[in-house]
Structure 1
Amino acid sequence: MEFDLAIIGCGSAGVEAAKEALKLRKKVVCIERSPEWIGGTCLNKGCVPTKHLREGAYLTEKLQSADFYGISSPLRGVDILSSIGRAKEGVIKPVREATYKFLSSKGVKFLFSQNAVFKDKNTLLVDGKPVRAKYFLIATGSSPSSVPNVVPDGKFVLDTDSFWDIEAAPRKVLIVGGGVSGLEFAYILKRYGAEEVCIVELQKGLLPSVKNLSPDVVKRLERKLKAEGIKIHLQTVVEDIDPSKRRVRLSNGLLLEEIDFVLLTVGRKPNTSNLGLEKVGVKLTPRGFVEVDKTYRSSVENIYAAGDVIETPALAHVAKAEARLAVRNIFLKTSDSLDYSKVPSVVYSAYELGSFGWGEGELKERKIPYAVKMASFRSVAKALSEGEEGLIKVFVSPEGEILGANVLSRKHTDSLLHLLLLAKDGGLKIDRLREFVFAHPTVEEVLEIL
């Protein structure tokens, strides 16, 4: 049986590619390791379940401030295992099943196997059986990385995949990596009852990979995490781990004892091995990503790639957008690519930190003229009534064009960030945005005082 498009991987990129190909009335097959992995890392092990836990963590803060509203509502306890279970059964499973049902009903063929290897540029062997297609999209995603001295074993050293199978609520946790995942898990674990949460980060600051966040914004999150009781050790690495004694020694001389587990959050690596890519001539970068041109085509004319397997921001919404464009480029013969300056990203920790476009450091480095427009929530009545706190920094050109933005808040970052991004995309200058009539009282009124 020959297909118009064979998609290897049914995560964020794969699902979106299948939907887009269906709109074009193409015959599609999706190859995934198992039914439980439909939706990929984001749905099953990443952004979706962590946001469920983060919602619970934030709720504990709101309950503790109930007196502000004249309500006596003591927090009687937290249960992270129950929350994980409800995320799996009440959020992940329904979405996964609905995705499979929808795509299947529209004619998408699913093949479940952990053994898919290219035979030639038009044939993939799935469990040894040939699957032929005119075009292929590699959308196999990524897996957690590791570092020297810290190798996941699924017991004492966990990664962001194996975390979801913990059998007991932790009391003491060491998080290796002060990036996005590390800061999200630190806040979650502390709010869900861990007595001690410690972060170690190799670099001199938190969130080193998020280049467009201003240092003062990151520092504000760092202070909030410390106020939560989370210990942070910068420019520090793990020197030695002793699982039998549940001990970890850090490079700064600190010895951590009675650790329940070490959580490794040091980034991800592309899933490009064991696919036979080199055999058919698909070139990889030195770091193992599929090398693609601006249309997401690989070095082989009928093989494309999107999502975490290519060297672009490893975000689910980026993967979806790339997959949509790749499918259109394949079948409509267009040459479109994503404008990554208009891609938002959000860190959901003790604060939500959102950003897009050029950051302050990047603008200085490139000697691009800019001005900073800032607004605080302190004068916004709705924010004060919600116990909200935060700020907005918008970087604008001398002509008032929006070059980028940072948003920090407890609960309104996504809406504010998208309003600013829509303004940028629509060519609205900062003065015009300030003149917009916002409903009162709303947190969005903060944009009037930029």
Structure 2
Amino acid sequence: MEEFDFLVIGSGSGLDVANVAANRGQSVAVVEKGPLGGTCLNRGCIPSKQLLYHADVYETIESAGEFHIDAEIEAVDFAEMVREVNEDVAESSASIRSGLQSSERHRLFDGEARFVDDRTVEIHGGEDDGSPARGAGEDDGARIRAETVLIAAGTRPGIPDIDGIDAVDYLTSTEALELESPPDRLVIVGGGYIAAELGHFFGTFGSDVTILGRRPQLLPNTDPEVAAAFTDRYRGRFDVQTGYAVTEVAEANGEITVEALPYEYGDDPGVVEGGEALSVAGDELLVAAGRVPNTDTLDLEQTAVQTDEAGFVETDEYLRTDAEGVWALGDIVGEYLLKHSANHEAQSVARNIFGEEPEPVDYSAMPYAVFGSPEVAGVGATEDELRAADREYATNTYRYDETARGDAMHADGFVKVLIDLEGEILGCHIVGPDASTLIQEVVTAMTAGSGTVRDIRESIHVHPALPEVVQRAFSGQFSRGGGGHQHHH
């Protein structure tokens, strides 16, 4: 048995805390079964956003005609584009590995960690990622014990229980990011951000895209008005079928057939039996139906660590689990499945483990962004959430093309603001160009400012720059909603 001061399972944002431990002179063990750097670097935000930027450039050139510029795209080297991004990712991952291996304070274990008791794990397997330094399974069977354990083992794509799915060669986001040519016809199961982003990517480069989502709108977790506008724009580009649950898939002669039935949300959600079935065919099937936590690989039943119904690790507000000395962060705790949330949690955990007084994690101004076309971003409550909580609020919406810069860009989209009756910002949701950038001033106002309309309304904005659309959304005529009031625009 090897003893350490600190053990982290997973090499994503958990490494941030491990590095704090190492800098304080602690001995650190890192357990990782795949390439280093976690989901974001290897099969998430980094490769997807790099590839999506190529799609944005393509779209910009394609729309040049609107601005009386005659430009045409002669060729796209799709395979080279994908290879370059994946090589870049592999290099970053390899540099994290060599950094850990050359460190005197860190010891890297290749394989899967399974708990033996609260603070002891056994290493299983290990995969040969091609690095010459290690063969596969060199650490197999090793047992490690640590004073402090951090569970940061992330999530993986969820595969819904669909008839025939095991007999079909489907893609998840992981494989989709490595395809070296766009499929002729791509069928996407799921209507969330992964479907939105990868639909935009493959659709831009020539795939005929069909999106099948259970909810009435794509991006159902965003504000209802934003989701409706986004779904409407995607309907213009793709075959979007919302309100359908996929019930069966089959593959024959290189063609995949997908059967779906109408799906109803409400008190008793489910497939409408006897509803009119929908049948769609494609060359590739992308399953983008959410993500599931990797807790089922950890043998947590050997510990006092508790999980919720969906399998996410239960923690208190400081990110401590029910087991003494065991903490958790990132996607596996299921608060927000976002890299910036995991990084924020890592700062909190480091402060709570190594600082004087523990402080709860502050999720109050956690933004999100979807890099589709259009972009979507938001922070705080949605109008649905305020209505469900019977909160009184006021709302205002401002369109991009009503600003000088938005008009010059031919920008289609809007900023929607939700405030309480005292002027405190409850939420802000944006659909349109650079939404992921524009949301930041609202996050800053909510975090570092007084968190009121005044912060944004009274800040001087460059004229005629795009952030004016945010300023004007916060400066306009608000109308009352919620708390028994009728909502007008």
Which amino acid counterpart does residue 215 of structure 1 have in structure 2?
Answer: P
Contact 1:150/1:157 (8 A) holds in 2: no
Q: Hey, what's the Cα distance between the residues in 1 that align with 2:157 and 2:19? A: 27
Q: Hey, what's the Cα distance between the residues in 1 that align with 2:167 and 2:76? A: 24
TM-score when normalising by structure 1: 0.91
Which amino acid counterpart does residue 90 of structure 2 have in structure 1?
Answer: K
TM-score when normalising by structure 2: 0.84
Compared with structure 1, are the counterparts of its residues 204 and 88 closer, same or farther at alpha carbon in structure 2 (3 Å cutoff)?
A: same
Structure 2 partner of 1:178? 191
| C-alpha deviation, 1:123, in angstroms | 2.5
| C-alpha deviation, 1:358, in angstroms | 1.1
Q: Answer yes or no: is 1:237 the counterpart of 2:250.
A: no
Compared with structure 1, are the counterparts of its residues 359 and 281 closer, same or farther at alpha carbon in structure 2 (3 Å cutoff)?
A: same
Structure 1 partner of 2:283? 260
User: Which residue of 38, 60, 77 maps to 1:62?
Assistant: 60
User: Which residue of 134, 143, 153 maps to 1:140?
Assistant: 153
| C-alpha deviation, 1:274, in angstroms | 3.3
Compared with structure 1, are the counterparts of its residues 105 and 70 closer, same or farther at alpha carbon in structure 2 (3 Å cutoff)?
A: farther
**CA offset digits 1:377-400 (Å, max 9, x no partner):** 112222333343321111111111
Which amino acid counterpart does residue 99 of structure 1 have in structure 2?
Answer: I
Q: Hey, what's the Cα distance between the residues in 1 that align with 2:163 and 2:71? A: 42
**CA offset digits 1:137-193 (Å, max 9, x no partner):** 011101111112267669631112222343542000110000111111111111011
Q: Residue 364 of structure 2: SS of its match in structure 1?
A: helix
Structure 1 partner of 2:352? 329
| C-alpha deviation, 1:321, in angstroms | 1.4
Q: Hey, what's the Cα distance between the residues in 1 that align with 2:431 and 2:345? A: 27
Taking only the aligned residue pairs, the percentage that are identical comes to 29
Structure 1 partner of 2:271? none
Which amino acid counterpart does residue 199 of structure 1 have in structure 2?
Answer: I
Q: Answer yes or no: is 1:201 the counterpart of 2:218.
A: no
| Alignment coverage as a number of residue pairs | 439
Which amino acid counterpart does residue 122 of structure 1 have in structure 2?
Answer: R
Structure 1 partner of 2:226? 217
User: Which residue of 311, 332, 353 maps to 1:288?
Assistant: 311
Structure 2 partner of 1:418? 440
Structure 1 partner of 2:16? 16
Q: Residue 252 of structure 2: SS of its match in structure 1?
A: coil
Contact 1:322/1:337 (8 A) holds in 2: no
**Structure 1 residues 63-78: aligned runs within 5 Å:** 63-78=61-76
User: Which residue of 99, 103, 126 maps to 2:96?
Assistant: 99
Structure 1 partner of 2:32? 32
Which amino acid counterpart does residue 19 of structure 2 have in structure 1?
Answer: K
Contact 1:79/1:192 (8 A) holds in 2: no
Q: Residue 94 of structure 2: SS of its match in structure 1?
A: helix
| C-alpha deviation, 1:101, in angstroms | 4.7
Contact 1:294/1:337 (8 A) holds in 2: yes
Which amino acid counterpart does residue 367 of structure 1 have in structure 2?
Answer: D
Q: Hey, what's the Cα distance between the residues in 1 that align with 2:179 and 2:141? A: 35
| C-alpha deviation, 1:23, in angstroms | 4.7
Q: Hey, what's the Cα distance between the residues in 1 that align with 2:443 and 2:21? A: 28
**CA offset digits 1:27-46 (Å, max 9, x no partner):** 32211113xx2111111111
Which amino acid counterpart does residue 255 of structure 1 have in structure 2?
Answer: S
Q: Hey, what's the Cα distance between the residues in 1 that align with 2:44 and 2:293? A: 15
Structure 1 partner of 2:466? 443
Compared with structure 1, are the counterparts of its residues 107 and 345 closer, same or farther at alpha carbon in structure 2 (3 Å cutoff)?
A: farther
Q: Hey, what's the Cα distance between the residues in 2 that align with 1:260 and 1:154? A: 15
Which amino acid counterpart does residue 26 of structure 1 have in structure 2?
Answer: Q
**CA offset digits 1:182-230 (Å, max 9, x no partner):** 1111111110111x2111111222222x2xx3222111111211222x0
Q: Hey, what's the Cα distance between the residues in 2 that align with 1:306 and 1:120? A: 20
**CA offset digits 1:28-67 (Å, max 9, x no partner):** 2211113xx2111111111111112211111111001223
Contact 1:176/1:265 (8 A) holds in 2: yes
Structure 2 partner of 1:119? 116
Superposition CA RMSD, Å: 2.2
Q: Residue 87 of structure 1: SS of its match in structure 2?
A: helix
Structure 2 partner of 1:187? 200
Contact 1:19/1:103 (8 A) holds in 2: no
User: Which residue of 378, 386, 390 maps to 1:363?
Assistant: 386
Compared with structure 1, are the counterparts of its residues 171 and 278 closer, same or farther at alpha carbon in structure 2 (3 Å cutoff)?
A: same
Q: Answer yes or no: is 1:305 the counterpart of 2:324.
A: no
Structure 1 partner of 2:134? none
Structure 1 partner of 2:8? 7
Contact 1:118/1:124 (8 A) holds in 2: yes
Structure 1 partner of 2:479? none
> Structure 2: where are the runs of 5+ without partners?
124-139, 262-275, 474-489
Contact 1:341/1:358 (8 A) holds in 2: no
Compared with structure 1, are the counterparts of its residues 205 and 75 closer, same or farther at alpha carbon in structure 2 (3 Å cutoff)?
A: same
Which amino acid counterpart does residue 424 of structure 1 have in structure 2?
Answer: M
| C-alpha deviation, 1:8, in angstroms | 0.5
Q: Hey, what's the Cα distance between the residues in 1 that align with 2:81 and 2:252? A: 29
Compared with structure 1, are the counterparts of its residues 318 and 204 closer, same or farther at alpha carbon in structure 2 (3 Å cutoff)?
A: same
> Structure 1: where are the runs of 5+ without partners?
none
Compared with structure 1, are the counterparts of its residues 154 and 54 closer, same or farther at alpha carbon in structure 2 (3 Å cutoff)?
A: farther
Compared with structure 1, are the counterparts of its residues 192 and 110 closer, same or farther at alpha carbon in structure 2 (3 Å cutoff)?
A: farther
Q: Hey, what's the Cα distance between the residues in 2 that align with 1:154 and 1:294? A: 43
Compared with structure 1, are the counterparts of its residues 39 and 108 closer, same or farther at alpha carbon in structure 2 (3 Å cutoff)?
A: farther
Q: Answer yes or no: is 1:384 the counterpart of 2:407.
A: yes
Q: Residue 387 of structure 2: SS of its match in structure 1?
A: helix
Contact 1:32/1:110 (8 A) holds in 2: no
Which amino acid counterpart does residue 130 of structure 1 have in structure 2?
Answer: R
Q: Residue 460 of structure 2: SS of its match in structure 1?
A: coil
Q: Hey, what's the Cα distance between the residues in 1 that align with 2:374 and 2:143? A: 50
Compared with structure 1, are the counterparts of its residues 169 and 43 closer, same or farther at alpha carbon in structure 2 (3 Å cutoff)?
A: same
User: Which residue of 314, 323, 340 maps to 2:337?
Assistant: 314
| C-alpha deviation, 1:272, in angstroms | 1.1
